[in-house]
Structure 1
Amino acid sequence: MTADAGLTSATLVIEERTLVGNYDEFSYTELTKDPMAKVVTAEGERWEASYTFPDVAVYGYYFEVVANGETYIVHNNDFSVYWTPEKGSGGESMIAFQPSDTDAVRRYRHSSYDGTFAVPEWSKNAIYYYIFPERFRNGDTSNDPTVGQDTILGEAVEVHSDWNDAPWVPGTGDGSDEFYNNDFFGGDLQGIVEKLDYLADLGVNTLYINPIFEAASNHKYDTADYKNIDDNFGDNALFETLTTEASNRGIRVILDTSLNHTGSDSKYFDRYENFAELGAFEGETIQESSPFYDWYTFDPAGTTPEAMYEGWVGVDSLPNLNESDSWKAYAYGDADSVTNMWLDKGASGWRMDVAPWVSDEFWREWRDVVKANDADALTVAETWFDASKHLLGDMFDSTMNYIFRNAVQDFAAGESAEEMYQNLELMRENYPQEAFYALMNLLSTHDAARALHHFGYTGPESSAEAVAEAKTRLKLAVLFQMAYPGAPAIFYGDEVGVTGGEDPYNRATYPWADEGGNPDMALLDDFKALIQMRNDNAVLRTGSIDAPVYADENVIVLVRELNGTHAITAFNNAAETSEVTFTVDDLASLNFNDALSSEALAVPASGEITLTLPAIGGQVFISQ
């Protein structure tokens, strides 16, 4: 810490962070206060102290300083990081009078991670194609859901006759019934198998598929049977065909499930008496003799069925799971556990739903099983906030990067580049490098409005001008995504112009031309070019990265390097061209070509570089 002359003393305060659940419990516990030593230099005073962090954990620190008889704190800034209750992005600090309550302190955060932590090497080079299977492609109409036969929570399902319908939402006047998540289009695993050549041609190398196990709803997070593919999607043999055929094309498959809750309409709970084996709440009666009884917590005093058990975040169709020994054995402990079974059938890893709601110890034990089965298998958490505690080498390799999603969406929409980038710098500084280069970098997801919707293409009512601008802004976001560390994720249909607001409109069908859809083939070609740019240039995937060499309200410029190859990546969100000048000594006298246009750039011996960036666009220069 540097300071002007006048400080009487300075103290480094170290604390350990406790974070449980979705910030259900959050606190810091003081470990030590270390006096700092003053060092006088020509530039001023520097105060120094050292500390060795004892364990794998997330720690906080700040400084207490005394000047003119008054005690102050030097702590983190008050920047709000997306989705994260704890404020502060690192970097520039703020000074305040010492508060009477340390809850007012904004700690700098430090991740002390396992020194042996390594993610699968392939995951740093992954480009995900992210599929909501019920809406991607109907490859086998014989397994489609059937009205009068299939049910959800004891009620009838609805089936669309037109693949290009919008998803139905109760209460909107679209003609649907009053139940959510019960309308089906017929997408299935055979549809994915049919389009593997399309995906290989797109340039992706990893499929992330939302849940495919037996379940009543269209989203399948209400698992009915973890060990069988949903019969409207296919069967277990077809899953093995999918992984084999994908592997033949150099594509891996990542599966998705929740080990936090099952469905109430499941073989394990069986509230609606749809299964042969005795469920823990079969017929809305607590069944203590059920083999699944200790998987759940019941309250016999409840006066309604819903009051007799706890659903995840109050959703009674998703009863929470206890971390009982029998459940853990079934989930990951047994040789034929859910975790092992699907890895053995060809999955390359797991994305775990609502990870913060499950205990750290559960995830540590689960990770050990995954890595013992296949050291090259990937573990991905669903966390929306700063995921530091999950990325210390003892739980997950990666997370769905919602912070990246919001930051890049807002930048591409025209908001402050400097403000946006603080979110990304937080992760670069706080996450272990292994995890940082394997983050699943999202733009659209099944849980939030699609990127094009955020950029102004909200539906058929949008003007041609609004649609064109939204697609231009999407291309800027994808350019950033493909030129930045971490694994880009393309949500099915984004590449051909699919839009949609909040769930379920973001889960629209892919507009296949042979199903009467109208995919934007020009946008598809742009996606292919950007993906190829990333695949062709290792420096964009695993090259080093530091703080921006230039940043203002509209422009971000980054420099990357790998094994002597340099890259300059520059992005402009302004509606007009932007000329920027900056100096990078390490790039002096190097020659570059634009990876997309082949435009040449010769850096003079001074290292001073001037770029003229296109409106709502950017450039990626690779050294020659």
Structure 2
Amino acid sequence: MIRKIFSAILLIATVSYSQISHDLIHPVNLNQDGITGIVLSDLFYSSSYDIELHLNENVKSWLNEKGDSILFQPINDFTGLTLVSFKLGIDQYEIPVKLNKTKKYLFTYKPTPTDKQVNLFGQFNSWNRQTLPMKDANKDGTLEIEIPLDPGRYEYKFFVDGKELIDPENPVKVSNGLGDFNSVRVIEEETVEKIFLHILGKEENENGLKLKFYFENLDRSNMVKPESVIALFDNQMFPSDQIEINGREIILALEKKNLVGDHSIRVAVNRMGKHSNIQTIQLHDGVVAGASGKRTLHDQIIYSIMVDRFYNGDTSNDNSVQNDSLFAPANYQGGDLQGIIDKIEEGYFGKLGINTFWISPIVDNTNNAYREYPAPHRYYTGYHGYWPTSSTKVEEKFGDMDLARTMVETAHTNGINVLWDFISNHIHEEHQFWNEHRNWFGKLELPDGGKNLRLFDQYRLTTWFEPYMPSFDYVGSIDALEFMTDNAVWWLSVTGADGYRHDAVKHVPNEFWRMLTKKTKSRIEVPLNRKLYQIGETFGGIELINSYVNNGQLNAQFNFNLYDVAIPTFLDEKASFKLLDYQMQKSFQVFGYNNLMGNIIDSHDKIRYMAYADGDLEINDGRSKEIGWTKPPQVDNRSSYDKLKLHLAYILTIPGVPIIYYGDEFGMTGAADPDNRRMMRFDSELNEFEIQTLDDVSKLIHIRNDHPALRYGDFMSLQVDESIYAYLRSDTNERVLTIINKNPNEQRVELTIPAVYQINEAENLLTQNVFSVYDNQIKLSVEGISCLILTIY
């Protein structure tokens, strides 16, 4: 019956869509040691994938036997950037393909006589214990393995006959939050030639639009050659007769007739085996994004709401779970959908500057309490929404489907998009599916008699989170796959929401996300000309996270790799911003400068930032859960609010999508779950420091809203050391310079701005003070634990 309901509601005409205009084909990062395979639907959406690949002198490409994937292999010692062409229908399109070779580093382990199998594992391979076996190739008694690593900080261990061991030869180790330690290795950046493609600006005239760029490298005697310029108009080659090169300046001319609609211009310089950054300019009817008035996914500032903990707008639906062993922090506390509506209508989010909600799951959950599997086995309820007992009903303690629609409509009326939180990995055992469709789910028991519980890396696609939370087996059940992807589309269709935050993405196979996204594009995005946003949650290495981020699966994931480096960098006075900048550059290499990855400082699954900033907890503190129950943190130091604002200034000025977890805007503290999910406070419930923090954070959010360079611009690091992180972001509208000082003391900063920018003045966006700039030098002082955000012109 449920499936028939879905079929009736989702019977939307599917548009024939052979031309690739809905998606911008992302660059493919090649594997330096072998073949790289890409599923065609991950590159672009189309009703047909009957493509014809063209020859490329640097990269061999061919279709697999099924014809649904392209295989790439570099030839002739290729490095840099090239375009692989293919024909679809009567049109030719281009796939940007790039290879940046990475130096390999040696890891060694001296085994004992009884050690049989030793594998290396760590952040660099998403903690996979099987893929990096170590060997004694030269028979000297020492096991070795070489792996390619970019500059950065890496945690790792050895997996010895089923046991996890730290590196006995490496004294540097950190807590892993699980009662043990990980070894740490830092790879420093070697001296390399820096090349960068700058945006100079735009020139509008009666014939159309000109976009101007400037190529910079150390060897100033080499001018840009036409064959070095790679330029694309959407997914097709930019006409060579409309590219003008003057020394190092590149001008792309766009005729007026080609400016109608939404388009993207991409340009880079490739020379001597290296390539510059790829500059991307979005146009809306010939007007550059950020100045066109059209909102895109890059404009999102997401506010994360846990419904039960936000605001009680309707006391009539309050009905906490009764259990003698249940304590208040793990029970329902009264928040509901009406409470969110009330705060929208009061103008709370408008004043704050929020334009997108991520709403915790509103699907119906169990009305009973259950014991958590890990010790000390406390009782919890489904207040958080992640224990679903229905696929179509709204949790009655939050409201009903009519109220959910009303909330979405109210949000839209106030310029706010809504992302629901969708649970595809599991259900609660009280869900009817557990009895009716037992074959849709995997088994809790392992072949060796053990329990497949919380083995998140060892059994990534089959592990259960709790004994009462059956995990779907999508590989073994096409019916489960079809139903749950239809279910996700159904929720969007009946509520009018704008996308999803997806839970536990890495525990769900790629096939699920491909089927879901194909359905959302064919049934909603293409026929209705809407852009949905889907962001996922995956804890793991950057390659694993990226395996889900493409046109055929998810728009983005939370950038936990950047988060993991940023937290200790900001909180440790002696930690250099170099490691954070390394990870930032790695993110650009993998996801691009103009990515939609989610940037957080904490979340409902993470310790609150203020608990770290105030010194209540160490990073990855294994005591955090118990401290939350027995000695909940309180903010004691005024300077902790400054540390919070500094980190928020950072995520609000870097590429990606900033995400504000409810309460972060005024400095709410909290240890691990459930202490990090305290009831939200407003108005008179805030102290004077929280009120000031709320005002300051609102100003930071509005600065991002008001300045398109912070949403669409490139990224250039100007100063990176233990105290200062200074970076410049430019688009064709403006340039914005951010200077972060985490040192408690005032710091004197002298920055050199590229001469081609011809900067004369700078304005402090926080104070509106304007000062002159001479000889491309910005010299100023930055107060302790503070930042400056400047427009320069």
TM-score normalized with structure 2 length: 0.58
Q: CA deviation at 1:569?
A: 1.1
* Change in CA separation of 1:266 and 1:598 when aligned onto 2, cut-off 3 Å: same
Identity of aligned residues (%): 22
Q: CA deviation at 1:341?
A: 3.1
Q: CA deviation at 1:31?
A: 7.6
1:380 corresponds, among 513, 535, 549, to 535
* Change in CA separation of 1:224 and 1:17 when aligned onto 2, cut-off 3 Å: farther
2:372 is aligned with 1:229: no
Q: CA deviation at 1:52?
A: 6.9
Distance, in Å, in 2 between the alignment partners of 1:36 and 1:338 is: 45
Distance, in Å, in 1 between the alignment partners of 2:766 and 2:444 is: 62
Letter in 2 for 1:106: P
**Counterparts of residues 189-204 of structure 1 (less than 5 Å):** 189-196=337-344, 197-204=347-354
1:357 corresponds, among 507, 514, 539, to 507
* Change in CA separation of 1:99 and 1:617 when aligned onto 2, cut-off 3 Å: farther
2:203 is aligned with 1:184: no
* Change in CA separation of 1:352 and 1:49 when aligned onto 2, cut-off 3 Å: closer
Equivalent residue, structure 2, for 1:505: 675
Write the deviation string for residues 518-575 of structure 1: whole angstroms up to 9, x where unpaired. 58211111111111111111111111223x1221121111111121411111111111
* Change in CA separation of 1:141 and 1:472 when aligned onto 2, cut-off 3 Å: same
Equivalent residue, structure 2, for 1:104: 146
Equivalent residue, structure 1, for 2:588: 428
**Counterparts of residues 319-398 of structure 1 (less than 5 Å):** 319-323=470-474, 324-333=477-486, 337-375=487-525, 376-385=531-540, 386=542, 387-398=545-556
Distance, in Å, in 1 between the alignment partners of 2:552 and 2:753 is: 38
Q: Report if the CA contact (8 A) 2:598-2:656 is conserved.
A: yes
Equivalent residue, structure 1, for 2:778: 609
Structure 2: tracts of 5 or more residues without a match: 1-30, 39-70, 87-94, 108-121, 127-136, 152-233, 237-262, 265-281, 283-293, 367-381, 526-530, 617-627
2:525 is aligned with 1:525: no
Equivalent residue, structure 2, for 1:411: 569
Letter in 1 for 2:335: G
Equivalent residue, structure 1, for 2:441: 296
Equivalent residue, structure 1, for 2:246: none
Distance, in Å, in 1 between the alignment partners of 2:673 and 2:77 is: 52
2:722 corresponds, among 549, 553, 576, to 553
* Change in CA separation of 1:454 and 1:329 when aligned onto 2, cut-off 3 Å: same
Letter in 2 for 1:621: L
Q: CA deviation at 1:348?
A: 0.4
Distance, in Å, in 1 between the alignment partners of 2:760 and 2:420 is: 44
Equivalent residue, structure 2, for 1:256: 421
Letter in 1 for 2:765: A
2:662 corresponds, among 477, 486, 492, to 492
Q: CA RMSD in A?
A: 4.0
Q: Report if the CA contact (8 A) 1:143-1:234 is conserved.
A: yes
Q: Helix, strand or coil for the counterpart of 1:223? A: coil
Q: Helix, strand or coil for the counterpart of 2:124? A: coil
Q: CA deviation at 1:488?
A: 1.1
Q: CA deviation at 1:267?
A: 2.2
* Change in CA separation of 1:99 and 1:431 when aligned onto 2, cut-off 3 Å: farther
Distance, in Å, in 2 between the alignment partners of 1:403 and 1:227 is: 35
Q: Report if the CA contact (8 A) 1:226-1:338 is conserved.
A: no
Letter in 1 for 2:433: Y
Distance, in Å, in 2 between the alignment partners of 1:99 and 1:53 is: 41
* Change in CA separation of 1:584 and 1:293 when aligned onto 2, cut-off 3 Å: same
Distance, in Å, in 1 between the alignment partners of 2:483 and 2:324 is: 31
Q: Helix, strand or coil for the counterpart of 1:184? A: coil
Q: Report if the CA contact (8 A) 2:359-2:419 is conserved.
A: yes
Q: CA deviation at 1:424?
A: 1.5
Q: Report if the CA contact (8 A) 1:256-1:353 is conserved.
A: yes
Q: Helix, strand or coil for the counterpart of 1:229? A: coil
2:124 corresponds, among 82, 85, 90, to 85
Letter in 1 for 2:418: V
* Change in CA separation of 1:33 and 1:566 when aligned onto 2, cut-off 3 Å: closer
Letter in 1 for 2:386: Y
2:716 is aligned with 1:566: no
Letter in 2 for 1:331: M
Distance, in Å, in 2 between the alignment partners of 1:508 and 1:463 is: 12
Q: CA deviation at 1:412?
A: 2.5
Q: Helix, strand or coil for the counterpart of 1:444? A: coil
Equivalent residue, structure 1, for 2:33: 14
Equivalent residue, structure 2, for 1:448: 606
* Change in CA separation of 1:300 and 1:348 when aligned onto 2, cut-off 3 Å: closer
Q: Report if the CA contact (8 A) 1:351-1:380 is conserved.
A: yes
Distance, in Å, in 2 between the alignment partners of 1:240 and 1:77 is: 56
Distance, in Å, in 2 between the alignment partners of 1:53 and 1:480 is: 37
Structure 1: tracts of 5 or more residues without a match: 1-11, 20-29, 38-47, 64-73, 88-97, 149-154, 161-166, 168-180, 270-279, 281-289
Q: Helix, strand or coil for the counterpart of 1:531? A: helix
Equivalent residue, structure 2, for 1:439: 597
Letter in 1 for 2:748: E
Equivalent residue, structure 2, for 1:214: 364
Distance, in Å, in 1 between the alignment partners of 2:520 and 2:138 is: 46
Q: Report if the CA contact (8 A) 1:159-1:184 is conserved.
A: no
* Change in CA separation of 1:615 and 1:331 when aligned onto 2, cut-off 3 Å: same
Q: Helix, strand or coil for the counterpart of 2:424? A: coil
Equivalent residue, structure 1, for 2:433: 268
Which stretch of structure 1 is more off in the superposition, 301-310 or 385-394? 301-310
Write the deviation string for residues 431-461 of structure 1: whole angstroms up to 9, x where unpaired. 1445x1x222111100010111111263988
Q: CA deviation at 1:517?
A: 6.2
Distance, in Å, in 2 between the alignment partners of 1:378 and 1:210 is: 16
Distance, in Å, in 1 between the alignment partners of 2:645 and 2:360 is: 25
**Counterparts of residues 43-54 of structure 1 (less than 5 Å):** none
* Change in CA separation of 1:507 and 1:54 when aligned onto 2, cut-off 3 Å: farther
Distance, in Å, in 1 between the alignment partners of 2:513 and 2:650 is: 32
Write the deviation string for residues 124-155 of structure 1: whole angstroms up to 9, x where unpaired. 0111110111111111111112445xxxxxx6
Equivalent residue, structure 2, for 1:592: 762
Write the deviation string for residues 70-109 of structure 1: whole angstroms up to 9, x where unpaired. xxxx43799xxxx93349xxxxxxxxxx999995221569
Distance, in Å, in 2 between the alignment partners of 1:108 and 1:52 is: 24
Q: CA deviation at 1:50?
A: 7.9
Q: Helix, strand or coil for the counterpart of 1:506? A: helix
Distance, in Å, in 2 between the alignment partners of 1:364 and 1:138 is: 38
Q: Report if the CA contact (8 A) 1:58-1:388 is conserved.
A: no
Q: CA deviation at 1:404?
A: 3.2
Letter in 2 for 1:330: F
Aligned residues: 513
TM-score normalized with structure 1 length: 0.73
Distance, in Å, in 1 between the alignment partners of 2:634 and 2:362 is: 37
2:315 corresponds, among 119, 141, 156, to 141
Q: CA deviation at 1:339?
A: 2.2
Q: Helix, strand or coil for the counterpart of 1:207? A: strand
Q: Report if the CA contact (8 A) 2:428-2:468 is conserved.
A: yes
Q: CA deviation at 1:300?
A: 10
